[in-house]
Amino acid sequence: MILDENYILPNGVSVPKLGLGTWLIPDSEVASAVRSAIAAGYRHIDTAQAYENERGTGEGVRSSGVPRENIFITTKVAAEIKDYDGAAASIDESLRKLDCGPIDLVIIHCPQPWAEFRGEKRYFKENKEVWKALEDAYQEGKVRAIGVSNFLEDDLLNILDGCRIKPMVNQFKIHIGLTPSSLIDFCKQQEIVPEAYSPIAHGSALHDPFIAGMAQKYGVSVPQLCIRYTLQLGAISLPKSTKDEHIRANTKLEFSISDEDMEVLRGFSLD
């Protein structure tokens, strides 16, 4: 069962393959969604400083009735923070807001501030400073694992050049219609676990007739097909939902996409 499956990071930390994404869930509502997910069997919850719902996420975990050590929490240093002191202070603030003890995984949300996403300035020097803050937080026991998000190959090479601790995960957009195979392969070569956010393409996959037809072939829903696809690519999958029935349905993944259909889906482009 997918809820029982994990990846083991290079430092031995276990990460559940399926997690709940919380982007755009308000702080006032996220605790309920987190409790519903944990009741459905999820043991991996993904939040971020930029989501402004760390407080509610922590509340949901603490009030779930499941021991804290059995739940994996990820948060992200805001993309706009590009200096050591700011990153270190932000990690302490996340610890305070979550109020769940050491954070299981802290990642840099983006190599550039969002207003400059994929822009000309690459922030290589600044990201090394932020990474140093993550390394120090890890060595001080504030976090159990560290990684990055939205990093391209050259962004990763910049961190790998001279780091004390290699990034353990890279969270980036992976879904049917957008499969960055070379980046996925590079991460695996470096023992960096890829994480797929927006596995249902921010909902766009729900309206595509080709994806719907493929889902029908397997007798599953479009979200189930999309999540299964990212899992079979070797990525952690982070679907987001606030509705109990969808949260539960997204765990029903006891089927396999054939190798032939995986290749077809890899080559598919979602307009």
Cα 250 to the chain's mean position, in Å?
16
Rg (CA), the chain: 18
Q: To which H or E segment does residue 6 belong?
A: strand 6-8
According to DSSP, the residues that pair with 18 across neighbouring strands are: 237
Tell me which amino acid residue 137 is.
Answer: A
The upper half-sphere exposure of residue 57, i.e. CA atoms within 13 Å in the direction of its Cβ, equals 31
Active site residue 51: yes
- The answer to whether 104 touches 169, Cβ cutoff 8 Å, is no
Q: To which H or E segment does residue 222 belong?
A: helix 222-232
**Residue 199 main-chain phi, psi, to 5 deg:** -65, -15
Those residues whose C-beta lies under 8 Å from the C-beta of residue 84, and which sit 6 or more positions away, are: 129, 130, 132, 133
Residue 258 tokens, joined = 């054939």
Q: What angle do CA 42, 251, 228 make, to 5 degrees?
A: 120
Catalytic residue among 51, 138, 197, 229: 51
CA 216 to CA 6: how far, in whole Å?
Answer: 28
Give the active site residues: 51
